[in-house]
A and B are shown apart, each in its own frame.
Chain A
């Protein structure tokens, strides 16, 4: 497995509380992504980063924010968690491959339950 870790791996929280998920990589890859995985929807991109302090929105960014202050860390924050944000969250990384972006490598996932 590529050097990607996610923490925590499991979390149960209550509606309205803030939650931060961490993705850490040891590959020095430029690109990092956050996805959520839900039955019937596959994986959907929440936010991504193309460098330190460079981030942009994905398909389902409402209710989420991200930060990347170091190459190795990409944080996903739910400012005020809602039950609809119960999901499995995956981080992915990739590097440059010539003029395009290379294969994405995925972390182990974080299972988040919002009660």
Chain B
């Protein structure tokens, strides 16, 4: 069965430090992976998806099929990056858009 695991509930770093939020997945098909972010008092929103290979707000994520991982990285954390981050996997047939989410990681960037 499909599964997404985010091993860290909380990641606390200082401003300017590198950040890596871990995500591992289990899926028998061809994976499509996403990172969603929820800032305080805001809606959950898409940060990036692996097929677009974009860098959003300085964040990047590379799909590693060998390690079944999709870690989110940023070289220099900013205080405004503090938020809840969810990794998600699209599963089922391509015409449903169903997502399975990881448990979420709270990123806390200290000044």
Residues of chain A having any CB pair with chain B under 8 Å: 1, 31, 33, 35, 40-45, 48, 50, 56, 58-59, 90, 94, 96, 99-109
Q: How far is the CA of A56 from the CA of B98 in the complex (A)?
A: 11
Count of interface residues, chain B, beta-carbon cutoff 8 Å: 24
Q: How far is the CA of A33 from the CA of B90 in the complex (A)?
A: 13
- Interface SS of A by simple majority: strand
Residues of chain B having any CB pair with chain A under 8 Å: 4, 6, 9, 32, 34, 43-46, 49, 86, 88, 90, 94-104
CB within 8 Å: A-B pair count: 64
Asked whether A103 lies within 8 Å of B49 as measured between CB atoms, the reply is yes
A41 to chain B: closest residue by CB: B103
Partner of A103 from the list B6, B46, B101 (CB cut-off 8 Å) is B46
Shortest distance from the beta carbon of B18 to any chain A beta carbon, whole Å: 24
Asked whether B94 lies within 8 Å of A101 as measured between CB atoms, the reply is yes
Asked whether A45 lies within 8 Å of B45 as measured between CB atoms, the reply is no
Asked whether A104 lies within 8 Å of B43 as measured between CB atoms, the reply is no
Shortest distance from the beta carbon of B56 to any chain A beta carbon, whole Å: 12
Partner of B46 from the list A40, A43, A90, A104 (CB cut-off 8 Å) is A104
Shortest distance from the beta carbon of B7 to any chain A beta carbon, whole Å: 13
Partner of A108 from the list B43, B94, B95 (CB cut-off 8 Å) is B43
